[in-house]
Amino acid sequence: MQTKSNRRSRRSGTHAAQLQLPLEESDIRHNKKVRGVYRDRNAHHAIVYKIGKIKISFVEMKKGRLVTRSLPDVKFFNVRQFERIEYPVERAVENFLKHGGGVSEAARRALLSVLKGST
């Protein structure tokens, strides 16, 4: 039978493999919050152009005119279930700007700011 001190020490220890992993910029803030192209569980695409402390600002591809939106990060990731996808930002911005429903001026500026930030 194990004593309480043995059980406690095993639980509080950090695995050696975790200590040796290098930290990259994409790992900051739970490896989620980075500017780029995202897709939700319903296959709706969005381009994140600004990340605040609480809210994430993005332009979502949908019917009608494209506009900017902001959601709390919890709702963006847990409710809408957006996940980052590997898709060229330049190509995504180009497709969003050519949207048949039109693009608001604020959305156009936001999309172009993503291009400037990625180059």
| 49 in any annotated domain | yes
| 4 in any annotated domain | no
| Rounded-to-integer distance, Cα 66 and Cα 95, Å | 12
| 75 in any annotated domain | yes
Residues 6 or more apart whose Cβ sits within 8 Å of residue 58 = 38, 46, 47, 48, 49, 68, 69, 70, 71, 76
| 25 in any annotated domain | no
| 7 in any annotated domain | no
| Rounded-to-integer distance, Cα 58 and Cα 38, Å | 10
Q: Band of the pLDDT at 24, cuts 50, 70, 90?
A: very low
| Rounded-to-integer distance, Cα 16 and Cα 18, Å | 5
CA dihedral 87, 114, 42, 26 (to 10 degrees): 70
Mean per-residue pLDDT of the chain: 80
| 3 in any annotated domain | no
Q: Band of the pLDDT at 20, cuts 50, 70, 90?
A: very low
Task: Give the residue numbers spanning the domain of 90.
Answer: 35-118
| 78 in any annotated domain | yes
| 16 in any annotated domain | no
